[in-house]
Chains A and B, each alone.
Chain A
Amino acid sequence: MMTKQRAASGRDRQDRRDTREDVLIVDGVSARLGGREVLHDVRFTIRPGEFVGLIGSNGAGKTTLLRVILGLVPPAAGKVRVHGNGIGYVPQKIELDPDMPLRARDLVGLGLDGNRLGFPLPSRSRRKLVDEMLRAVDAEHIGNARVGRLSGGEQQRILIAHALISRPGLLLLDEPLANLDIASEQEVVALLARIAREQRIAVLISAHEMNPLLPVMDRIVYLAAGRAASGPTDEVVRGEVLSELYARHVDVIHVHGRVLVVAGRGDGLDIPLDPAAPAAS
């Protein structure tokens, strides 16, 4: 009985909007991994130029949701629709050693035609496009440096340029802030917000901590134990909504413009849920 109520009211949080010009529609997606349901009836939409945070602790299902959207994991139920010029994807890290001969500009160029066979013919227009992308992510000065020798923040910028060069309508980033220091974190967030605004590219960024994204986030998709609540940030990040989602009492505390999500009733069993605490099961 409890469960049913929660499901019903939870769905009301998944706000219904006109979906005609959406770049991404996630419609009632459930997913199973190894027999376990990791996503349950997740639904939300993203419009052109929107900056959306996909927030949840480790194990909440963020990575699976991104993989479903990318088409790498088939959903057990529901469907994903992508409109426009496809998805640009930014993985968490690069696997190259520092000495490996691949320059930042090579990696950006591979965003254009990395899946093609044969050698890339040197062309002026291709080079111009690569230069343009490097400039767009403030990385002109590191264009000739080896990718493996760049810092985490620089690599993120190059990966963003790699994803943007094919002019996608949606940019998907998997925990881009996970390994960054605070300064690079702010740089990357500001850059992404600028790209979303200026180029009208929608951004969906996963993170286990919402605070770095609060100033720029238009909307939020909050995941807990495979269930999602979505909508404008201040409508979703509230005690009642998150309590429903976590199936236990949750307080949302605002401190100096930052948000703290805490579970329990102050009876000595308080558990901070954000960041990185295991979600209620």
Chain B
Amino acid sequence: MNHVLTAIVEPGFFGSEPVHVALLIGGVVAVVSGIIGTFTVMRGQSYAGHALADISVTGGSGSFLIGISPLWGFAGTSVAAAGVMDLIGVRRPRGRDLATGIVRGAGLGLGALFLYWDTTHTSTTGATVTILFGSMFTIDSSIIPVVVAFSLAAVGIVAALYRPLLLSSASSDLAVVRGIRVRTTGALCLVAIALAVSLSALTIGAILSTALLVGPAATALRLTARPALVMIWSALIGLAATWLGILLAFDSYYWPPERQGWPVSFFVVALVLAFYLLAQALPAGRGGKPGRG
């Protein structure tokens, strides 16, 4: 029995401090991303999520230059970008995509400049990989309180606006008639998405962060038609992908060729994809035909 266990979990896994931090932060971030991701998918804002993640590169790379945690940079620029996107997004449906595209392009341009300076001026050579692809095992545990605060803020927003967000995703006219301030709710939801992508940028990298935002939610909505259950499933799928990913990455250190190790982000994203494909193989999805459930 013990032999089987050590074959799956390499010795030292549960005793390692970086693993503890990774499991904790990675777990919290996965749950937050799963919950916020449900609304991102419901409201058709996956593209906005991608754009916010891209823009977080700007802040993340900038934060290396001034020596603060990249989380502050990720969140600073993506929340600001969410505000700008809302301001210039007007109300036309197409205006939203255009505004998103313009802000995203500008943000990535600045990100390119900062990453260049990171590697040339300050000789932090790992910066590019850390920003773009994450580094779960090197997260400084002092950032935990900030992670928790951002998580509570993001989940708090969508928990408070649960019903108005659901109603306006079905019909903005209905929401307006009910006295819901659609513009404000939409802007707040975008802020929650910005916080969620910043958090997952910290764990699996800015480029990959939307995989954790959109993937588990897209998988979960195949499993149930109930919005509240989708949130729970989505959070659990994200959590499973993250923890399994951390375990596999730790194990991979002992895989041949030894002492190389594979990045956590690769495993997390691969598992998210695997779960998604598994769910697609399920028959039709629940709530498909009238009378069934």
Contact = CB atoms under 8 A, between A and B. Distances in A.
A245 B185 CA distance: 43
A100 B163 contact: no
B160 interface: yes
Interface string B249-272: 000000000000000000000000
A97 interface: yes
Interface residues of B, number: 42
Given A89-B174, A89-B177, A149 B164 contact: no
B274 to A, nearest CB: 20
A215 interface: no
Interface string B170-182: 1111111111100
Contacts of B171: 91, 93-95
B290 A119 contact: no
A31 interface: no
Interface stretch (A138-146, A190-198, A234-242): A138-146
B152 interface: no
B223 to A, nearest CB: 9
Contact of B170 (A113, A141, A144, A147): A147
Given A101-B227, A101-B230, A114 B164 contact: yes
A8 interface: no
A100 B221 contact: yes
B291 A142 contact: yes
B167 interface: yes
Contacts of A259: none
Contacts of A154: 290
Contacts of B183: none
B144 interface: no
Interface residues on A, range: 35 or more
Contacts of B287: 101, 103, 144-146, 149
A113 B290 contact: no
A180 interface: no
A145 B163 contact: no
Contact of A117 (B163, B229, B230): B163
Contacts of A82: none
A119 B162 contact: yes
A116 B163 CA distance: 7
A102 B290 contact: no
A114 B174 contact: yes
Interface string B197-229: 000000000000000000000001110111111
B273 interface: no
B285 interface: yes
B163 A120 contact: yes
Interface in B133-181: 159-164, 166-167, 169-180
A119 B225 CA distance: 17
Contacts of B174: 89, 91, 114, 159, 162
Interface in A62-114: 70, 72, 87, 89, 91, 93-97, 99-103, 106-107, 110, 113-114
Contacts of A110: 163, 166-167, 170
B105 interface: no
B12 interface: no
Nearest to A119: B162
B109 interface: no
Interface string B278-293: 0000000101111111
B42 interface: yes
29 contacts: A70-B177, A89-B174, A91-B174, A93-B171, A94-B171, A100-B41, A100-B42, A100-B221, A101-B38, A101-B226, A102-B227, A106-B166, A107-B167, A110-B163, A113-B163, A114-B164, A115-B167, A117-B162, A117-B163, A118-B159, A118-B163, A119-B162, A120-B162, A142-B290, A145-B225, A145-B290, A145-B291, A145-B293, A159-B174
